[in-house]
Amino acid sequence: MTMQAPYTEAAVLGSRYRKVRDYSVELIDGLSAEDCQLQSMAEASPLKWHLAHTSWFFETFILGELAHAPTPFDPAFKILFNSYYIGVGDRHDRPERGMLSRPSLDQVLAYRRHVDEHMQLALATADFPAELATLVELGLNHEQQHQELMLTDLKHHFSRNPLFPAWRETGTDQRPSPGPAATPLVFEGGLVEVGHDANGFCYDNELPRHRVWLEPFALASRNVSNGEYLAFIRDGGYQRPELWLSDGWDQVCSEQWQAPLYWQHDDSGWHVFTLHGLQPVNDEATLTHISFYEADAYARWAGARLPTEMEWEHATTQNQPLQGLFDEVWQWCNSAYLPYPGFQPAAGAVGEYNGKFMINQMVLRGGSLATPTGHSRASYRNFFPAWARWQFSGVRLAWDG
């Protein structure tokens, strides 16, 4: 017998659905169709594709499973806007998403309206299946991930334009670091529990909750600032192989890294490209757009190390004055992205969401200024390759106790 979600639960979900979906469209306010078509590298997608793919998710995994499923908006979209769900069928090559001038942005927005209309009708019914309500919640969190990607990808797209266009004319994404010098906060460690506590939504990679042993350690009270990283640059940090992991040094040499992504230097000093155009580097702002390799090299230069993801998570539960955990930058951890003991991916095609990427990735914890409000939590496990720099990623130092 199929369990049914209570009507009030579906109604609340319908309100949350509208709010999340509307915000995705708000992000392109003021942008042209040409802006939404850009793809500056294989790892970054056009904003138009993000808008379509998040709609594809709801059409494929929720509407398509209804007893009276609506007719698909366009059968071709099943392939065009599939990302990596092999179990669903064929996919358009990721590096060529920017080649999709058709469908137009107007058609993609019409696709969103079509999906939203049918989703709202489904969520308004008293017998909306509980198992599909769970997938709707997954889809909304999935869309929030893409909302952050829309900003990080757009920033990279615009950075390739010598006109340095702005997403918004006023403001800055140089988030000031709260407080003075970072203070090492000491934690006793011991046998602790990590992983999601089953209170609210989580991804499958946050489960199961389990015990780990931590030696005593210390964690910085705040994230590293631009000014602190400038000292590393001025001390020849990018020219000193003894500071770098072997793969990191190879990356520095092959890519000719001299500073974080989006930084540039001229006779007037250091500048950084932001979502609001080119701006002078703010020494007091939180450092962002660095790779795991850069974070690790800086930590070694500073006489520190990166925290493990277990240390980071445990520290957030200990009522210590840790600032900028969730609203500045994702913080690199010295932990490979691997399954927890007893991990089981979700059933069906959505089980491809996290587990199949547990190789050649490093974990980041926290959240950034681009992360939608309410999307982050202490057990959240973000992950990217060690060389990735276009996300809002920074560093919080750790030390042995």
Longest dimension (CA), the chain: 72
Domain boundaries, the chain: 7-159, 184-400
The confidence band for 2, taking pLDDT boundaries of 50, 70 and 90, is: very low
Cβ pair 212, 195 in contact under 8 A: no
pLDDT class for 43, splitting at 50, 70, 90?
A: very high
Cα separation, 384 vs 393, in Å, equals: 10
User: With 80 as the cut, is the pLDDT of residue 349 above it?
Assistant: no
State the average pLDDT over residues 162-191. Answer: 91
For domain 184-400, which architecture applies? Alpha-Beta Complex (3.90)
Q: Containing H/E element for 366?
A: strand 362-366
What pLDDT does 3 receive? 36
* Residue environment code for 262-295, b if the CB has 16+ CB neighbours within 10 A, otherwise e: bbeeeeeebbbbbbbbebebbeebbbbbbbbbbb
- Predicted pLDDT of residue 127: 85
Across the chain, mean pLDDT equals 94
- d(C-alpha 45, C-alpha 48), whole Å: 8
Q: For the residues 371-386, what does the mean pLDDT come to? A: 97
Residue 4 has pLDDT above 70, yes or no: no
- What would the mean pLDDT of 192-215 be, rounded to a whole number? 95
Supply the pLDDT for residue 175.
87
pLDDT confidence band for 178 (50 / 70 / 90)? low
Interval 121-139 mean pLDDT: 91
Of the listed ranges 129-138, 210-219, 252-261, the least confidently predicted one is 129-138
Q: Which two tokens stand for residue 335?
A: 């932990």
Region 269-295 average pLDDT: 97
